[in-house]
A and B are shown apart, each in its own frame.
Chain A
């Protein structure tokens, strides 16, 4: 890989959220991270079914160095563990995905899902309350009506901000298999949910009815060879969706073509390189995430070792392939044994689709600058916690022999054998309009921002200028 960390791509530590404790409670393990459409809110979901929403600090938004300060805005329990008595199965409360709805009014809405049930949450602020009731004291005690001598009209007075989350819709009983994706449509009226074998279409207002639009369940389950791993709506065309498969292919479907989109409109697939064939070829070619670019022109997919960029106009092969951690190719047997080979990494685009990011092991995450043809390996670590401290690029050396084979024992170099595979970054998110990123380690959320190049002229830079500096 190219030596990362050119002048163009420099990142600073901003904040870290979560317990410092190394003893991680399973419930606190972060399972999803998502910015809302303005980037002002950042939501995380965890294995315990909890959603925590952070809000960008208003006063600091205009100060470039501190614009990435996020504080807790709301915390609520989205899903609880359930038990399916018919099948004798426990349904985990882990939040698999969160997706924000575009903002229409003062309240914010998001969809959160576990394996079986999707919920629409309304997050609203209350900053005033009525005071001056005739029959009630301020503390709520009732006044004896006989003591009321005059009447007044209650008025709203300011109060300390209270953020309330309430479930507005519960969409359940539509999935036999485990839900892996949800995606809000550009029409802002519908959304899709996908499980291993089916994709369903919902209207946000109607929770007792859902339309099945993709069904790949074979008549005989013994013939099952492929499952759906992720699905997403096109950002602009409300009739177009894609879904990825465990075989490494992506299918694009047009809902105008037919009610049931089992026949794909396009099939994106790259022939396997026969020289790379191994016992584990199927596992590593399984796509773990698929994301449209903001422009809608490109698709990004993540499989175990690579990130691929596809042009929607070319189905035969990706236009770009980036190696995330090719040095793991020789370790696949051990990664299979310790289950790491089943890890599902996500990926994300920056606001103008010029850079993509994904996670790796040892709390490393990777960025690929498509235009500059540069890439960087950075680390989310508590060792670099000074505000605005620059992140140093990391390097993994792969030479053989004792000591890991790092020829020069540089401080920022690490050998493959020293990587900590328990420290994995599966979930990352990029602010839609700015160079602020949220990176989730197992139980911590790191927020980084790009280095403000010239502090003296920082006031003159707008957010869009920031975006271009990458």
Chain B
């Protein structure tokens, strides 16, 4: 990546981190989650995500071109590079959904999960994907038990997002979370729907 693209990428990551902590902070706000604020946060995050994503894709393409390999190898290399930033975000997504269970209103749960399925990811599909209930970590403990996943403090979240470390997909143990899906599924709109 060239220098200015790096700057933009860094800024995008920073904005994402700030936005996530704002999102968490707004849950404990007096008066409940504000729809307007949540919407604006999600739009900013989407912009940042798009830029971050395209910068990474661009970097991947550049590296692949420089590798001077055959076409097949190019495909193999670019996919994991594109997907690797996603796991952290998707992990956050899962935690978000778990916590959102308590605050979600009935009428907004009817249209929970659209079927934006990733055909390459069939083994990670939740078999109960057609159920009305919001999905959490179905492979984890039942709903009425508190989640054992450690909550990250806002500072740690930032660290997690910024790391961008490549984590083996198998180690994520994500039953329902669709790895490789874009941040679109982070869907702030759902988070933004408190009991309003």
Contacts and interface: CB of A to CB of B under 8 A. Distances in A.
B39 A222 contact: no
B36 A246 contact: yes
A202 B82 CA distance: 54
A227 B39 contact: yes
A246 B40 contact: yes
B83 interface: no
Contact of B196 (A177, A220, A281, A336): A177
A336 B187 contact: no
A115 interface: yes
Contact of B195 (A89, A222, A246): A89
B131 interface: no
Contacts of B31: 89-92, 94, 115, 178
- By DSSP majority rule, is chain A's interface helix, strand, loop, or mixed? loop
A279 B196 contact: no
Contact of A222 (B15, B32, B48, B189): B189
Nearest to B16: A279
Which one of A94, A178, A229 has the greatest number of beta carbons of chain B within 10 Å? A178
B167 interface: no
Interface residues of A, number: 36
Contacts of A224: 35, 39, 189, 192
Nearest to A223: B189
Contacts of A342: 37, 40
Interface stretch (A80-88, A159-167, A458-466): A80-88
A339 B44 CA distance: 13
A469 B39 CA distance: 44
A16 B116 CA distance: 58
B189 A84 contact: no
Given A222-B114, A246-B36, A87 B194 contact: yes
Contacts of B111: 219-222
B190 interface: yes
Interface in B25-77: 30-32, 34-37, 39-40, 43-44, 47-48, 51
22 contacts: A88-B103, A90-B30, A94-B31, A176-B196, A177-B196, A197-B35, A220-B114, A221-B193, A222-B111, A222-B189, A222-B190, A224-B35, A227-B36, A246-B39, A279-B11, A280-B44, A282-B40, A282-B43, A282-B47, A283-B40, A333-B15, A337-B18
Interface of B: 11-12, 14-15, 18, 22, 30-32, 34-37, 39-40, 43-44, 47-48, 51, 103, 105, 108, 111, 114, 187, 189-190, 192-196
Interface of A: 84, 86-92, 94, 115, 176-178, 196-197, 219-225, 227, 229, 246, 279-283, 286, 333, 336-337, 339, 342
